[in-house]
Amino acid sequence: MQKSWKEKLKLYLTIYWTMFKIGVTTFGGGYAMIAIFDKELGERKKWIDREELLDYLAISQITPGVIAVNVSTFVGRKKGGVIGAIFGTLGVVTPSLIIITIIAALFINFASNEYVMHAFAGIRICACVLIINATIRFIKQTVVDILTLVTFLCVFLVAAFTRISTVYIVLFIILVSIVFTIIKGSKEKKKDGHDGGAQC
C-alpha cells in the first residue's frame, strides 16, 4: 500500500527535523557525531542498527564529503528514498550553515576574547570525549575474535604511525576481506563436498 502525499511529507519533515537536531546539538565534526547518530537513529528512532551505522561509516570513509553528511544521506535514503536523502542532507547541514554564517560575521571581533577562547577549549575537550566514547562502543561491537583484533591493531598502527591515507587503508582492508571471504567459502564448499562423498 502506497503512502499518501501527506504521509510522505510528514516522513520527509521527520527526517529533516531529526537530522537538524543532530546537526545543531553536536560539536566536533563527523567523528564526534558518531555517538549521537548511534543514540538518536539507532536507540531512539530504530531507523538503523549499529551494524548498519558501521557500514555507513565505512562507506563514508572512502567517498567524498563530510562523514556526518554522508551518513545522513544514507539514512535519509533508507527511510524516504531519494527525496528522503535530500531532506536528511539538508537537515544536518542547515544548523552548520546558520551557525557558521553568524560566527564568520562575529569571529574577527571576538576571536581574541578570553571567554571565547576558553569556550572553544571546552568544546574541543567535549569533542574528544564523544569521539573516544564512540570508538570504545564500536570496538566492542566489531572486535569479536582474534582475526578482527589483529586487523584492528594493524590498521591502528598503520594509521597512527604512518602517513598512508585512510582511504587506501580502508580499500586495502576491503580487498583483504573479500579475498578472505572467497577463500573461506571455497574451503567450506570443499568440506561439504567431502562430507557428502563420505556419506554416499
CB atoms within 10 A of CB 185: 10
Kindly list the distances between the CA atom of residue 10 and the CA atoms of 3, 16, 48, 73, 95, in Å, as whole numbers in the listed order: 11, 10, 19, 18, 20
Q: What is the reported pLDDT for 197?
A: 57
Q: What integer is the mean pLDDT of 78-94?
A: 93
Looking up cell 548511534 gives: 38
Q: What is the reported pLDDT for 16?
A: 95
Q: For residue 75, what pLDDT band results from cuts at 50, 70 and 90?
A: very high
**pLDDT(195) > 70:** no
Q: What is the reported pLDDT for 52?
A: 87
**pLDDT(110) > 60:** yes
65 — alpha (psi -120 to 50), left (phi > 0) or beta? left
**pLDDT(199) > 70:** no
**pLDDT(181) > 90:** no
Q: What is the reported pLDDT for 198?
A: 55
C-alpha cell at 30: 563527523
**pLDDT(132) > 70:** yes
Q: For residue 77, what pLDDT band results from cuts at 50, 70 and 90?
A: very high
**pLDDT(194) > 70:** no
Averaged confidence pLDDT in the chain: 82
CB atoms within 10 A of CB 107: 11
Q: What is the reported pLDDT for 96?
A: 85
Burial 69-96 (b: 16+ CB within 10 A, else e): bbbbbbbbbbbbeeebbbbbbbbbbebe
Which class for 53: exposed (0-12), middle (13-18), buried (19 or more C-beta within 10 A)?
buried
| Listed range (9-18, 86-95, 100-109, 161-170) with the worst mean pLDDT | 100-109
C-alpha to C-alpha distance for 52 and 70, rounded to whole angstroms: 13
Q: Amino acid letter at 114?
A: E
C-alpha cell at 54: 558501521
**pLDDT(90) > 90:** yes
Q: Are 74 and 59 in contact (CB under 8 A)?
A: yes
Tens of pLDDT along 42-56?
888 889 888 888 888
**pLDDT(146) > 80:** yes
